[in-house]
Structure 1
Amino acid sequence: MSTLQGFTIPQTQTAAIVPAVGSDLEIKSQHPVKQAKDLKPGECLVHISHTGVCHTDLHAKQGDWPVKPMNPLIGGHEGVGRIVAIGENTPNSPVKLGDRVGIKWMADSCLNCEFCRRGFEMNCPNVKLSGYTVDGTFSEYVVSYTNHVTVIPDNLDSAGAASILCAGVTTYKGLKVSNTKVGDWVALPGAGGGLGHLAVQYAKAAGLKVVAIDTGAAKEKMVKELGADAWVDFKTSKDLVADVKAATGGAGPHAALVTAAHKSGYTQAIQYLREGGTLVCVGMPDAEMGANAFWTVFKSIRIQGSYVGTRQDAVEALDIAAAGKVKVIFESKQLKDLKDVYEDLEHGKIAGRIVLEVSKE
């Protein structure tokens, strides 16, 4: 049987669609649903209950990255839902009908090329990206891929799990490649944002000391409650580099995980990192980094790009959250509110994360 017993797949659904690059978002209630008989081997149909909203979704709508999205496009890549159908002739599926699974930025990869074999699945030449090169999770139903959806731990609620699938796994992986050990200092520019507030928690779970960099009393309160050891407000600081160094005992942090989408986060990090430190690049402004070559060499700085994470990284990130060590701070909204969410994202008004309730579980 390729369809979940007792479940009827409707012909149409509600979906949030970007009809063309830069166009206004449209909420359509009669968008077609791919039926079980039309699924290809390896494909699965997921009934979405919740989806997070990521800054990347705004880039997908605006088409302002060097890699262009497809259009028309249903965005979204932090979806949680139940598998209600699996394509016929799908051998050895790692998931089954009825499983509650997560859909991530990386929707699918070939698993057989050099990059996939070496653990760089996200760099596969045939990679499919949810809500960017294939339709994503801003809809009631989405077609995904059995080899890449991630089973959600039973004790993790769907709304809370959603943003772990992108913001969580991205920051977790960034910290894994930060060359840090227990007791080291890590600087987190953008600490009060959707990725940053999770980075604070994953860093603390790894035994690191955190200097949080952001602005505003609300974000300061939040990151301190999450365990940040020091706070630097980039708007009120008269010398951010000096303040970060002072907060970490004078030498500067051992690593900086930059989640902020502005090049200043990178330029400053080279200045305040201690000798031998690692700059982990996660935020993606389409801009030069401004890394000073002299000081990068003179201070033996390592610059490390970290692009989302692998299937295994996702499992680990979810397990840490399921153990109660990481919790997404989010505000619940409905799919119809997505236009307003995009506006708030553009104006930097969102602390933590927005999770949309798409349908009842």
Structure 2
Amino acid sequence: MPHRVWGPSVYKVQIAAVVPKPGAPIEIREDYPVKQPDELLPGECLIKMHCSGVCHTDLHVKKDDWPISGVTPLIGGHEGIGDRVGVKWLAYSCLQCEFCRKGLEQDCVKAKNSGFSVDGTFSEYVVSWVNHVTPIPEGFPSADAASILCAGVTVYRAIKHSQTEQGDWIVLPGAGGGLGHLAVQYAVARGLRVIAVDKKNLVFSLGAEAWIDFKETQDLVADIKRITGGLGAHSAVVTTAAPSGYAQAIDYLRPGGTLMAVGLPGAAKLEGSIFFTVLKSISIIGSYVG
């Protein structure tokens, strides 16, 4: 443990996991400065961290394999719990611009993102904004709450906007992954009939009605149509970062179906038949965190 220099009940320096520059290995620094309480700007808060989840997005930021790059050097992480509030990917939005007023705070023109454009949660202290930290209810363990702040709220929003009703079929490619296994649980809670696409059957214990092993199936589209009585699914929420998860969605969705694009492969293109997208009145909606 490094030597600590105390301020008014707050360390002057801290241990933090830092991305020094795009694509570089993460560095564990023991002398990263801590912003002191008397240095906070209006609206900022200083949080003593308890724990943090790790998201696949953190790996994308570290590897710098997205079309946009984060600020460096910077502390990574955006699923943090401290002082019983949660720190999310969206650290700040102005709440005044057109996008904020329309409920798209994540697309705010002044948005700040934890572990991407401002320091994140892989540290002992975090500076965030009071309008965006989330109180964690009593009795909800911090380690359980951490992933809800990103993976959970991301798939919750996607399912909410998937244009589905109770009893509809929803396909979840990547259902056994970090976002996917939470999507199964939210979809079941909303009364949807889940077709889980993954390489393992954890999903049955979470309430999925049907499961397709993407490594074993000979025809994914035919399997989904068979399960849904020949018409196809009402919606698909693609949480996998692999482009293959998107490629067949137009084919297995029924007329009027909705493709929710959630997973973020860095360089892949969204491909599908324009003819059948039009003919089947398919909606394609991008859904970015929440």
What TM-score do the two structures reach when normalised by structure 2? 0.95
Whole-angstrom distance in 1 between the partners of 2:122 and 2:75: 6
Whole-angstrom distance in 1 between the partners of 2:134 and 2:173: 29
- 1:190 is matched with 174
Are the counterparts in 2 of residues 188 and 196 from structure 1 also a CA contact under 8 Å? yes
Whole-angstrom distance in 2 between the partners of 1:248 and 1:163: 31
Correspondence for 1:298 among 279, 282, 285 = 279
- 2:235 is matched with 255
After the TM superposition, which of the residue ranges 240-249 and 115-124 deviates more from structure 2? 240-249
* Map 1:118-267 → 2, pairs under 5 A: 118-215=102-199, 219-220=200-201, 222-267=202-247
- 2:251 is matched with 271
Are the counterparts in 2 of residues 17 and 75 from structure 1 also a CA contact under 8 Å? yes
CA RMSD across the alignment:
1.0
Stretches of structure 1 that go unaligned for 5 or more consecutive residues are 1-6, 83-99, 310-361
Whole-angstrom distance in 1 between the partners of 2:154 and 2:229: 28
Whole-angstrom distance in 2 between the partners of 1:291 and 1:47: 47
Whole-angstrom distance in 1 between the partners of 2:273 and 2:209: 28
Secondary structure of the residue aligned to 1:261 is: coil
Aligned residue identity for 1:189: P
Shift, 1:250, TM fit: 2.0
Aligned residue identity for 2:107: N
Are the counterparts in 2 of residues 175 and 257 from structure 1 also a CA contact under 8 Å? yes
- 2:72 is matched with 71
* Map 1:2-41 → 2, pairs under 5 A: 8-41=9-42
Are the counterparts in 2 of residues 281 and 303 from structure 1 also a CA contact under 8 Å? yes
Whole-angstrom distance in 2 between the partners of 1:120 and 1:78: 20
Whole-angstrom distance in 2 between the partners of 1:74 and 1:303: 34
- 1:308 is matched with 289
Superposed CA deviations along residues 280-302 of structure 1, whole A, max 9, x for unmatched, are: 01001132111210110011100
Superposed CA deviations along residues 163-201 of structure 1, whole A, max 9, x for unmatched, are: 000000000000000000111110000000000000000
* Map 1:50-129 → 2, pairs under 5 A: 50-82=51-83, 100-129=84-113
Whole-angstrom distance in 1 between the partners of 2:39 and 2:151: 32
Superposed CA deviations along residues 78-117 of structure 1, whole A, max 9, x for unmatched, are: 11111xxxxxxxxxxxxxxxxx111111100111111111
Aligned residue identity for 1:166: C
Secondary structure of the residue aligned to 1:163 is: helix
- 2:3 is matched with none
Aligned residue identity for 2:160: K
Whole-angstrom distance in 1 between the partners of 2:15 and 2:192: 43
Superposed CA deviations along residues 1-41 of structure 1, whole A, max 9, x for unmatched, are: xxxxxx81111111101111111111112211111011111
Superposed CA deviations along residues 50-82 of structure 1, whole A, max 9, x for unmatched, are: 111111000110111112100012111111111
Aligned residue identity for 1:34: K
Superposed CA deviations along residues 204-250 of structure 1, whole A, max 9, x for unmatched, are: 010001000011xxx31x11101111011111111111112212222
Whole-angstrom distance in 2 between the partners of 1:245 and 1:132: 40
Whole-angstrom distance in 2 between the partners of 1:249 and 1:58: 40
Are the counterparts in 2 of residues 211 and 248 from structure 1 also a CA contact under 8 Å? no
Whole-angstrom distance in 1 between the partners of 2:119 and 2:272: 36
Whole-angstrom distance in 2 between the partners of 1:291 and 1:307: 21
Aligned residue identity for 2:179: L
* Percent identity (aligned): 61
Aligned length: 282
- 1:314 is matched with none
Superposed CA deviations along residues 302-356 of structure 1, whole A, max 9, x for unmatched, are: 00111111xxxxxxxxxxxxxxxxxxxxxxxxxxxxxxxxxxxxxxxxxxxxxxx
Whole-angstrom distance in 2 between the partners of 1:76 and 1:278: 31
Superposed CA deviations along residues 127-155 of structure 1, whole A, max 9, x for unmatched, are: 00110010100111110000111111112
- 2:270 is matched with 289
Whole-angstrom distance in 2 between the partners of 1:76 and 1:243: 38
Bigger RCO of structures 1 and 2 (CA < 8 A, at least 6 apart): 1
Aligned residue identity for 1:121: E
Are the counterparts in 2 of residues 69 and 132 from structure 1 also a CA contact under 8 Å? yes
